[in-house]
A and B are shown apart, each in its own frame.
Chain A
């Protein structure tokens, strides 16, 4: 019964979506907002990468909301998977002894790659307003770098959960503080401040690089925490 209704639903949806696709203006959409942003982005925000202007300038609140969603997801994963109570986060010191370092190849490869990944991650974050990439992508690289290190050699390296949560709080708070500073300078929340600098140079686009740095730290800390929480073998029952 459920199956048939599901199939009926699906076929209806297939029909609907196919018809819609036929009706859409493909390849020549009326980009009203898009054109306005392409015209004004250079003067209003000053980042060479217009997508960054949109992510942190025109739609900064969306980015803040997105960070909050990641934060919520990481909190829930922590709540669901660890036995921690107030003040005490489940430290993986206790179950160290059942972990073994991975094989020779993995250990050496990650030792070799780790600094490289850090540099690449920081480069992607700090050049987010000039080239493709930015806080999210660089943050992911950082998170993967750290959690690979922990996963590959759990005996030698452990990430301090308290440190991770302080970093993520600090990054989120600084994003908000940058926004609120603009608010109290008599302008509105998350308005780009500081001079635009020389266009397409590293020190340009006002507060955008700072915001992206906060985003990168936050995303990195959040995702590293997520990956490690998912990877701990201990589940509260």
Chain B
């Protein structure tokens, strides 16, 4: 159970080497296979997640949620996906065609690229990058460009406003996000995500860094344009922000990318603060799935509980509260570490 996937990967590499490929090319083929696996995981996850989101929102609002197709409405998302795939792809005539058409593709590519460094089990990492955390943050920052492209390409004032808001918000919240994660990095002493997981063998970092966890969680919610921070989409005022003009599959790609980002950020949260794939009894890949889903449930819970925050409040919250708090946490962590070393407890 524990080593299923790593064994399969090893067997594939061995077989390819047996066919006469050099080690580099065999690794390259393995990379492509892993990438395909990630795309599959993402798609399946999104199908489950949309169903879960609708169910959770229904339960919170005293409704039943989807309950028609299949047991507890489980096949509803599949039906929706088929509908979206077969819908007409409308490209409005006065858009900036190429930007409009490629924005969702870049968005989904960027979202899928996030998964390259997340340890999805013991030794189950596509690339064990020595600056994995920095990779995650910097690739995550690319999604702002995609939103800006979508907003500009649509040639629609609501889309443009939504994109502007999204970008302003994402750039502002990226800073507290990164700084709150730095506290964890200081304790673990590495930017490599597998090292950070191993460093949590005795105690989860959420207990050592509660303030960092809270600031990370809030900043991640804003970064995902979710929950109380969904000003960029704001259906009631901007119809759907940057996604207004999109139809069919292109719109579905945006949706897919949003949920992909949600899974990635939750998985990073589990890795950074909740011990990653470590856990008793069950195999490691199951542990990270359980932790990720629990964190995502909290994200959904928050989204369906809190009303949307006003734009100026949102920005001032980031710059005037979240950033100073995370900086203070960083300073506190440094002093704490030195203190522990001085006392000889570390």
Q: Do A and B come from one complex?
A: no
Q: Which residues of A contact B (CB under 8 A)?
A: none
